[in-house]
Amino acid sequence: MIGNFSLTYLGYMVQSIGWTLVLSALAFVLGMAGGFLVMLGRISPRRWLRLPTQVFIEAIQGIPLLILLFIVYFGLSVYGFELPSIVAAALALMVYTSAYLGDIWRGCVEAMPRAQWEAAECLSFTRWQTLRLVIIPQAVRLSLPPTIGFLVQIIKMTSLASVIGFVELTRAGQIINNSIFQPFLVFSLVGVFYFVLCYPLSRWSASLEDRLNVGNR
């Protein structure tokens, strides 16, 4: 025990890490599905698909995640949609993630050399076949570093879910601090736990980026 901080509080923090990871996984997996659709719409030759996805990306990127959380959790409740805090947080993070990953992946697809598209046309591939067999497999490799880097951001952004009552790592720290009034100790530990979660992913992202740079020389 350090002061009033006991192993019980430490166990509570460790338990809250599990909920942080659950929320991060939900947001990332659902956000990847949404981001893929956003990416397809953004690179579509059809204007009626491109414009809405562009507006969606610009709108979400221009709104703080905190506001999205308030809209989903408090705003929808006005119209009778009472969502559990984890569902509201996952939904808001999913929308946020979809916009950013869709834009990241769109950039990776458009970074593919024009010659790749022309070669596929020579083989009489349809546009979907070209994307599925030629462009997307190469774009996936290019997109891995920024995608993993964004996952790190998602893990840290789950801390905002504390404002709607979801007990993840940051909220657990607030609850413990309200009991023992040792903010330096408590939130230093919270910071250490976030670092332990995020640092390996950051190093992995940097390692993949270094490999890409070496391979492109």
Q: Could you give the CA distance from residue 13 to residue 174 in angstroms, rounded to a whole number?
A: 10
pLDDT at position 78: 85
pLDDT at position 137: 87
Q: Could you give the CA distance from residue 198 to residue 64 in angstroms, rounded to a whole number?
A: 22
Residues 6+ apart with CB under 8 A from 111: 139, 142
3-class state of residue 163 by DSSP: helix
pLDDT at position 217: 56
What is the torsion angle, in degrees rounded to the nearest 10, for the CA atoms of residue 175, residue 25, residue 56 and residue 133? 170
What is the torsion angle, in degrees rounded to the nearest 10, for the CA atoms of residue 176, residue 179, residue 183 and residue 186? -30
pLDDT means per 10 residues, the chain with 217 residues, are 70 92 96 95 90 95 94 89 92 96 93 83 82 86 93 95 92 91 91 95 91 67
Given a contact cutoff of 8 angstroms between Cβ atoms, the answer to whether 112 and 135 are in contact is yes
pLDDT at position 215: 59
The alpha carbon of 17 is separated from its chain's Cα centroid by a whole number of angstroms, namely 17
pLDDT at position 7: 79
**Closest to 41 measured CA to CA, from 53, 29, 33, 30:** 53
Domain boundaries, the chain: 5-210
Given a contact cutoff of 8 angstroms between Cβ atoms, the answer to whether 70 and 3 are in contact is no
pLDDT at position 214: 63
**Following DSSP, what letter does each residue of 83-134 receive, concatenated?**
--HHHHHHHHHHHHHHHHHHHHHHHHHHTS-HHHHHHHHHTT--HHHHIIII
Given a contact cutoff of 8 angstroms between Cβ atoms, the answer to whether 130 and 121 are in contact is yes
**Closest to 20 measured CA to CA, from 202, 215, 197, 211:** 197
Burial class of 160 by CB neighbour count within 10 A (0 to 12, 13 to 18, 19+): buried
The most distant pair of C-alpha atoms in the chain lies apart, rounded to whole Å, by 73
pLDDT at position 24: 96
User: pTM above 0.85?
Assistant: yes
The CATH number assigned to the domain with range 5-210 reads 1.10.3720.10
Given a contact cutoff of 8 angstroms between Cβ atoms, the answer to whether 136 and 130 are in contact is no
